[in-house]
Structure 1
Amino acid sequence: MPGTNLTREEARQRAAVVSDASYDVALDLTLEGERFGSVTTLTFAAQPGASTFVDLVDGELTSVTLNGRELDLSAYADSRIAIDGLEAQNELVVTGTCLYSHSGEGLHRFVDPTDDRVYLYTQFEVPDARRVFATFEQPDLKAQFTFHVTAPAHWKVVSNSPTPEPITLDGGSAVWHFEPTKTMSTYITALVAGEYHEVRDSYAGAYDEIPLGVFCRQSLVPFLDADDIFGITKQGFEFFEGAFQMGYPFGKYDQLFVPEYNMGAMENAGAVTFRDEMIFRSRQTVSAYEQRANTILHEMAHMWFGDLVTMKWWDDLWLNESFAEFAAHHSSVKATRFTDAWTGFTNSRKNWAYRQDQLPTTHPIAADNYDLHAVEANFDGITYAKGASALKQLVAWVGEDDFFAGLRAYFTKHAYGNTELQDLLVELSEASGRELDSWAAEWLQTSGVNTLRADFDVDDEGRFTRFDVVQTATEEYPTLRRHRIAIGLYDRGDDGRLVRTERIETDVRDERTTITELVDQRRPDLILLNDDDLTYAKIRLDEGSFETLLAGIATFADSLPRALCWGSAWDMTRDAELPSARFVDLVLAGVGTESDLTAVSSLLRQGHSAINLFTSDENRPALARHWEQGVAELLSSAEAGSDHQLAFARALASAATSADLLRQVLGGSVEGLELDADLRWTYIRGLARLGDADEAEIDAELARDDTNQGRENAAGARARRPDAEAKAEAWRKVVEDASTPNETRRQIAEGFQVPGQAELLEPYVDRYLKMADTVIDEMGVWIGQNALIHLFPLANPSQDALAKVDAWLESTQAPAAARRYVLEGRDDLRRALAARAVN
């Protein structure tokens, strides 16, 4: 039985039968209880006499009518409505109710505990429009959609088309009749409704004026910085309309910040949704604003690449996301105040890709998404960050001007249609004169990451007599790729800073590439391969360069080469090539003056992980105390009120080995540190982890901050307590209780596995593996994913846990997605044990 799955072949067969669809959808949001009214009128052309199916999940139907013929309700089974005897032109009417979601899929309903106001929003990617109305749920069956929404008259109601004036009905309700949308796929349609606060603006550029809206919950209005959001939005439109030489295609542009959101954001055409943690209620470092700007620009890029021109099937999901990831960072640098955005990418997103690509579940950038279950598992670091790195490499390969010329031709030719990768390559090849099929084969259709090393000889005067770049690959994924790279030579100046004195850009291919331009040049203090981060590859420094790095990583004059060196050091730590203690010392020596706040946050997390995951039981207590002392010293020496001070304060809550330091900070001992609600919760969680904050203190903190965020934080704090009853309740709420709110579930799951609680958590190894067999089938993909990733027994690595996981993997009949997440956790566990053995 297919259930909620859909295969690529089924989609191909259905697309051969039906075409020219249009939808008229009436939704009634005024019903009592957990369901809402849904009436879909779907008109479409078809092959006469053919049969197919329409998708609908969790519907309770009262009637199904095809071309005036009432169908038996038994035609609806297993999330599909079977329809046969089709005519050349057809009208299908499906009437019934659908189920509100509390897991972020379909139409999510949320009641804000702060003021009891109601908020709804849709999330349809990958296949969840079918939870709200009857659909042909596949991206290549594009259509126009006309929505009619009945809701309480005082609500805001937003969809893809401009919001019309509502028509008042009896009983305090109203109906909004939206105009038909532009032609689009089902997954980017949207409905957001509820008691939202709204701010309006507009952008007047080279094309039509674009009405702009920003929406959030009423309880977040005091924290809404709409001017900054609008400012980034306008800068984005100016950049993209100029770069693409094409006006924004969907009329108006609303950005809606919604609660309990699964993802970061979603590119619904003209009605983009974001997780409302991006409305910052507490002090943040600049990296949070940079990330928010990046997310805004990412979703905006999708308006052209993804919404206007859409993949034919989910095999090209990577192209949607990789392009938006690339375009967001590129436009941040070109058009906003975040001119070092590529440094942040290197310090964070690219490390995500490198980790994902070294797991046993790695896959090509262009993954084989043979069904929807495969798609849902492939929203990962390869799809986003490795793909964006490949596109950055492609831009270096063909040239920026030719790359954007090819994009403009692509958008013009395929507007409102569907494409495959080859359609894009044709336009890029035409614009650049480059043959790209072989590039696509080696970069997009293979797995794994290459490693680049410098191999050279020097004479008695310290000049290179030979310089080669050596490229290696793993035995499992042996592809050696062509790389366009820069090689940077760095020397210490008179002021002690590491400054680039020479840059050579060259092509590397095969196992060994000789760089003749460097022969006779003096060997510098540090040689940096892949300078400017043009390609996607692990880099290893030669011994002399590495010693320079260890002695003075903080002395780099520029942030991007420093980011590349940070990444190399962390990768060596994960590969058990650099002792965890040396990595911790490196972080403590350089993080205090690191200018990129994304790097600061990443490095503090990595230092914490190096101790807890990659350090032996014998050495860990001393290294943990060294880390605690180092972070405390960084906090005390940081400028009062600075971003660094806030970052170090957050890190200390995790680094502390006893409660005394945390109590002092929470008591106001750090000058200039604002103890706002979120930072207080960070410290309450730290105290709970140490067993020093009991239920009464957590309840008292919740009384200070009885908001949705406060309840989520309280739940996460309780889960961290070294208490058997607390762990049992946390497990129940994550794994067994379907009513646990979305974000609350994530906070609890993230707080469950705590280093140092090995004895308390040991019984949950077996419970985890038993749960892994069934959780996705019983609780759905998003809840199952949360449980499988965050509850995996990694925090206290043991050979016994590894053996049990291996036995489970050999015998389980669990769904492929569950096996994937367990296999990834298993690899992290194996890697941690290997590093501990040498540390």
Structure 2
Amino acid sequence: MPGTNLTRAEAQERARLLTVDAYDIELDLSGAQEGGTFRSRTTVRFDAAAAGDTFIDLVAPAVHEVVLNGTALDPDTVFADSRIALPGLAAGRNELLVVADCAYTNTGEGLHRFVDPVDDQAYLYTQFEVPDARRVFASFEQPDLKASFRFTVRAPEGWTVISNSPTPEPEGEGGTLWRFAPTARISSYITALIVGPYHSVHSSWESKGSLREAESTEGGGGRRAGGRTVPLGIYCRPSLAEFLDAEEIFAVTRQGFDWFEEQFDYAYPFEKYDQLFVPEFNAGAMENAGAVTIRDQYVFRSKVTDAAYEVRAETILHELAHMWFGDLVTMEWWNDLWLNESFATYTSIACLANAEGSRWPHAWTSFANQMKTWAYRQDQLPSTHPIMAEIRDLDDVMVNFDGITYAKGASVLKQLVAYVGRDEFFRGVQTYFRRHEWGNTRLSDLLGALEETSGRDLKTWSKAWLETAGINILRPEIETAPDGTVTSFAVRQEAPALPAGAAGSSTLRPHRIAVGLYELDGGRLVRTDRLELDIDGPLTDVPQLAGRVRPAVVLLNDDDLSYAKVRLDAGSLATVTKHLGDFAESLPRALCWASAWDMTRDGELPARDYLELVLSGIGKESDIGVVQSLHRQVKLALELYAAPDWRPEGLARWSEFALEQLRGAEPGSDHQLAWARALAGTARTDEQLGLLEGLLDGSASVDGLAVDTDLRWSLLLRLTATGRADAKRIDAELERDATSAGERHAASARASMPTAEAKAEAWASVVEGDKLPNALQEAVIAGFVQTGQRELLAPYTERYFAALKDVWESRSHEMAQQIAVGLYPSVQVSQATLDATDAWLASAEPSAALRRLVTESRAGVERALKAQAADAAAGRS
């Protein structure tokens, strides 16, 4: 039985048979305030290439009517396993009517319903990627069966309804009926409805009007001459309205419109652009055509560092880029998901780095230090896969939104731009948009366009980079004469074996890299020269450096053009160890920090030595995003990669250092706030915990530090996890912050308490019960897993494996994945954990998706064991 799955073979057969014209969808959401179910009425008009049988997708508690070409079908007969069988299609035009009761969800899938505790009002939004439009209306749920969608929605009086088409004036008594115009031809997964008493702010963007005349202008865009005004809207719940910095969001959005239209030479393809900050959103955002949904944690209630604004800006630009790449032109099947996500990631960072007036011209620094670190980690797991992954079915794709699909793919696109030339790359993209507008494509369509504009044969490049898994290591090989001049220089490329269990084999690849030469000048490391070259094979000579005086630092992959792990030669490493914080520019610092972290994860740099490196250099690090990444990485290194007998000493040094940095930071600065949060995550002595208590109750202060709502919760969470605050203290803080965010923080705090009773209650609410909404379940899991509570959590290893398969089979994908990953005993770094995992994998017969998640978690424990052994050996030497 298919359950809720769909195979690629089934999708191909259905696409061969069908051409879908239009959907008329009527939804009665008038009872949304009360919840339960809603009536969904879908009429679909489509053509069949030949007479035959097929099916349409629907997930619903009840189906009342199925009428195919005027003939009523028995719902009890044709509806099963998320499918409605459609027997006896006529060749040519067909029309289908499906009337069903669909269900509101609290999982972030389908039509999510949330009640704000501030005003007791319900707020709805849809999330359809990958296969969840079928939870709201009957649909042919695959990206290559595009159609026009016309929504008619009945909603409670006083509410607003937003969709892909411009919002109409409501009709009927009390303005409760909303009839939207049909959309352009789009895929079902990017349709959207956002419904509720949302607060809104409106503006517009004016096109510069330098684009080509359109041959066709389906939708609101096309290639147009002359200027154009695009309406812009921003929405959030009224309880967040006081924190909504709409003008800042509009400014980033307009910057993206300007830059993308110039680069793409194709006008924005839809009629308006709304951004809706919605509650309990599972991802960062979703590229619904003209109606982007974004997690409302990006409406900042408290002070955050500039790094948070940069992340939000990247998210805004990422989704805007999708309007062209993903929405206008869409992948044929999910094996090209990476094209959507990698392209949006690359262009969003490029926009931040290059757009006129950008606040974040050093965006590639953040990319190198954060997103590429994610990619490197993912690419060394047993589940590593080619960028262009083989997606056999929906189960495959739903666990494939990973660091390879996003960050490795974007890194490879960045290298491709360096390889073919930026102008040639974007000319190819322009050709691609014009040639495939409103259609579906494969990778070969994009590569063909790029080959035309660049004159390069990309087939070999594609095979090496997109069709193979794993990562390369680049090392410099330098020989010098007695007088210090370089006699030979080469780049050694290695292809480490793929992890056990990974499909395929390792490979050497062609790389376009820069080699940076750095010297100390007045205490600063400055670049004195740069060479850009292609390398291939195991060893590439670089004769240009022969005869030159050896520089203080030789940095491979300077400017981060390629995707590879980079190592420093002994002389460069010695200089960097003393002067990592002294690079004049942020990107080489980030590359060296990333290399050091990778060496720590690989057991090449003991955790205690990584701590020393950070202690010596972080005080000079100006990039706040890098500083915050280092905070997370040091804590992880100490908690998981340090030898257990040395770990308390390392944690004590780090917490004391964090306190010193907090006290010495510039009052009111981003660095001060970052160090306050770092201390809140690691405080352990009576003095340190006493300061947290004092900051919370007002008896202590740090000059310039605003102890606002979110920082208060961070302080309290540490106090509860260390047994310094009880449930009454949590209740008092929740009364002070009686919001949905407060409820999440309180749930984490209760689950973090170091008592058997607190752990049992948290476990029962997540694993034994299924009533928690997605955001609260995530919060409870986050509080439950505390690295300092290993003994208290030890009994839950056995309980995890006993419950896991049933949880996976009985919960929705999002909820089950939270549990499978979040409650895996990752803090129990031991051979016993590996053995328990192996025994479960051998006996449970998990699905491929669940097997992948558990195997990835197991790899984390295995890596931690090796790193701990390396750190212990360093302690003995």
Aligned match of 1:259 in 272, 279, 291? Answer: 279
- Residues 428 and 588 of structure 1: is their aligned pair in 2 closer, same or farther, counting only changes over 3 Å? same
Aligned 8 A contact 1:754 1:796 in 2: no
Q: How does 1:569-580 map to 2 (within 5 A)?
A: 569-580=596-607
Q: Which contiguous aligned blocks of 4+ residues in structure 1 show a shift greater than 6 angstroms?
A: none
Q: Deviations over 1:414-469 (max 9, x none)?
A: 00000000000000000000000110100001000100000111001111101010
- The residue number in structure 2 matching 1:835 is 867
Q: Which region of structure 1 is more displaced relative to structure 2, 213-222 or 613-622?
A: 613-622
- The residue number in structure 2 matching 1:28 is 28
- The residue number in structure 1 matching 2:354 is 334
Residue 299 (structure 1) aligned with residue 319 (structure 2): yes
- The residue number in structure 2 matching 1:103 is 107
Residue 5 (structure 1) aligned with residue 5 (structure 2): yes
**Which residue identity does 2:708 align to in structure 1?**
D
Aligned 8 A contact 2:259 2:351 in 1: yes
Q: Deviations over 1:468-526 (max 9, x none)?
A: 10000112342000000000011100x20000111000111100000011111111111
- Rounded Cα–Cα distance in structure 1 between residues aligned with 2:232 and 2:663: 44
Aligned match of 2:650 in 623, 635, 643? Answer: 623
**Which residue identity does 1:78 align to in structure 2?**
D
- Rounded Cα–Cα distance in structure 1 between residues aligned with 2:228 and 2:388: 36
Residue 70 (structure 1) aligned with residue 102 (structure 2): no
Aligned 8 A contact 1:67 1:90 in 2: yes
- The residue number in structure 1 matching 2:130 is 126
**Which residue identity does 1:660 align to in structure 2?**
G
1:662, distance to aligned residue in structure 2 (A): 2.2
Aligned 8 A contact 1:723 1:760 in 2: yes
Aligned match of 2:580 in 553, 571, 585? Answer: 553
- Rounded Cα–Cα distance in structure 1 between residues aligned with 2:829 and 2:732: 34
- The residue number in structure 1 matching 2:791 is 759
1:48, distance to aligned residue in structure 2 (A): 4.2
**Which residue identity does 2:22 align to in structure 1?**
S
- Rounded Cα–Cα distance in structure 2 between residues aligned with 1:672 and 1:565: 32
Q: Which region of structure 1 is more displaced relative to structure 2, 736-745 or 181-190?
A: 736-745
SS at match of 1:85: strand
- The residue number in structure 1 matching 2:218 is none
- The residue number in structure 2 matching 1:381 is 403
Residue 732 (structure 1) aligned with residue 764 (structure 2): yes
- Rounded Cα–Cα distance in structure 1 between residues aligned with 2:327 and 2:81: 29
Q: How does 1:264-663 map to 2 (within 5 A)?
A: 264-335=284-355, 336-476=358-498, 477-493=505-521, 495-658=522-685, 659-663=689-693
- The residue number in structure 1 matching 2:215 is none
- The residue number in structure 1 matching 2:43 is 41
Aligned 8 A contact 1:588 1:631 in 2: no
1:812, distance to aligned residue in structure 2 (A): 2.0
- Rounded Cα–Cα distance in structure 2 between residues aligned with 1:827 and 1:523: 40
SS at match of 2:557: strand
- The residue number in structure 1 matching 2:729 is 697
Aligned 8 A contact 1:309 1:416 in 2: yes
- Rounded Cα–Cα distance in structure 2 between residues aligned with 1:538 and 1:33: 51
1:18, distance to aligned residue in structure 2 (A): 1.0
- Rounded Cα–Cα distance in structure 2 between residues aligned with 1:656 and 1:20: 60
1:153, distance to aligned residue in structure 2 (A): 2.5
1:89, distance to aligned residue in structure 2 (A): 0.8
**Which residue identity does 1:616 align to in structure 2?**
A
Aligned 8 A contact 1:756 1:796 in 2: no
SS at match of 2:561: coil
Q: Deviations over 1:675-724 (max 9, x none)?
A: 11100000111111111111111111111111100000000111111111
- Rounded Cα–Cα distance in structure 1 between residues aligned with 2:388 and 2:148: 29
Aligned 8 A contact 2:286 2:319 in 1: yes
1:796, distance to aligned residue in structure 2 (A): 3.6
- Rounded Cα–Cα distance in structure 1 between residues aligned with 2:316 and 2:732: 36
Q: How does 1:146-295 map to 2 (within 5 A)?
A: 146-169=150-173, 172=174, 174-205=176-207, 206=209, 207-295=227-315
Q: Which region of structure 1 is more displaced relative to structure 2, 651-660 or 70-79?
A: 651-660
- Rounded Cα–Cα distance in structure 2 between residues aligned with 1:152 and 1:773: 40
Aligned 8 A contact 2:386 2:467 in 1: yes
Q: Deviations over 1:116-155 (max 9, x none)?
A: 1110000000000000000000000000000000001211
Aligned 8 A contact 1:498 1:555 in 2: yes
- Rounded Cα–Cα distance in structure 2 between residues aligned with 1:803 and 1:524: 49
**Which residue identity does 1:788 align to in structure 2?**
A
Q: Deviations over 1:640-698 (max 9, x none)?
A: 00000000000101111232242244343211110111000001111111111111111
- Rounded Cα–Cα distance in structure 2 between residues aligned with 1:286 and 1:734: 34
SS at match of 1:152: coil
- Rounded Cα–Cα distance in structure 2 between residues aligned with 1:114 and 1:593: 43
- Rounded Cα–Cα distance in structure 2 between residues aligned with 1:518 and 1:426: 37
- Rounded Cα–Cα distance in structure 2 between residues aligned with 1:506 and 1:707: 55
- The residue number in structure 1 matching 2:86 is 83
Q: Which region of structure 1 is more displaced relative to structure 2, 637-646 or 722-731?
A: 722-731
Q: Deviations over 1:764-806 (max 9, x none)?
A: 1011112222222111211111111111111241222222112
- Rounded Cα–Cα distance in structure 1 between residues aligned with 2:422 and 2:769: 51
Aligned 8 A contact 2:748 2:780 in 1: yes
Aligned 8 A contact 1:261 1:275 in 2: yes
**Which residue identity does 1:356 align to in structure 2?**
Q
SS at match of 1:167: coil
SS at match of 1:329: helix
The number of residue pairs the alignment matches comes to 836
Q: Normalised by the size of structure 1, how large is the TM-score? A: 0.99
- Rounded Cα–Cα distance in structure 1 between residues aligned with 2:16 and 2:416: 34
SS at match of 2:176: strand
- Rounded Cα–Cα distance in structure 2 between residues aligned with 1:639 and 1:589: 19
Aligned 8 A contact 2:330 2:441 in 1: yes
1:811, distance to aligned residue in structure 2 (A): 2.0
Aligned 8 A contact 2:60 2:100 in 1: no
SS at match of 1:578: coil
- Rounded Cα–Cα distance in structure 2 between residues aligned with 1:277 and 1:329: 21
Aligned 8 A contact 1:15 1:140 in 2: yes
**Which residue identity does 1:622 align to in structure 2?**
E
**Which residue identity does 2:291 align to in structure 1?**
A
Q: Which region of structure 1 is more displaced relative to structure 2, 211-220 or 767-776?
A: 767-776
**Which residue identity does 2:830 align to in structure 1?**
S
Q: How does 1:756-795 map to 2 (within 5 A)?
A: 756-795=788-827
Q: Deviations over 1:573-604 (max 9, x none)?
A: 00111111111122122222322221111100
- Rounded Cα–Cα distance in structure 2 between residues aligned with 1:664 and 1:386: 44
Aligned 8 A contact 2:35 2:113 in 1: no
- Rounded Cα–Cα distance in structure 2 between residues aligned with 1:636 and 1:198: 41
Q: Percent identity?
A: 54
Q: Normalised by the size of structure 2, how large is the TM-score? A: 0.94
Where does structure 2 lack aligned partners over 5 or more consecutive residues? 210-226, 499-504, 872-877
Aligned match of 1:745 in 777, 789, 793? Answer: 777
- The residue number in structure 1 matching 2:874 is none
- Rounded Cα–Cα distance in structure 2 between residues aligned with 1:254 and 1:55: 28
- Rounded Cα–Cα distance in structure 2 between residues aligned with 1:122 and 1:301: 20
**Which residue identity does 1:640 align to in structure 2?**
P
**Which residue identity does 1:131 align to in structure 2?**
R
Aligned match of 1:56 in 58, 61, 64? Answer: 58
- The residue number in structure 1 matching 2:715 is 683
- Rounded Cα–Cα distance in structure 1 between residues aligned with 2:634 and 2:794: 25
- Rounded Cα–Cα distance in structure 2 between residues aligned with 1:58 and 1:213: 32
1:233, distance to aligned residue in structure 2 (A): 0.5
SS at match of 1:645: helix
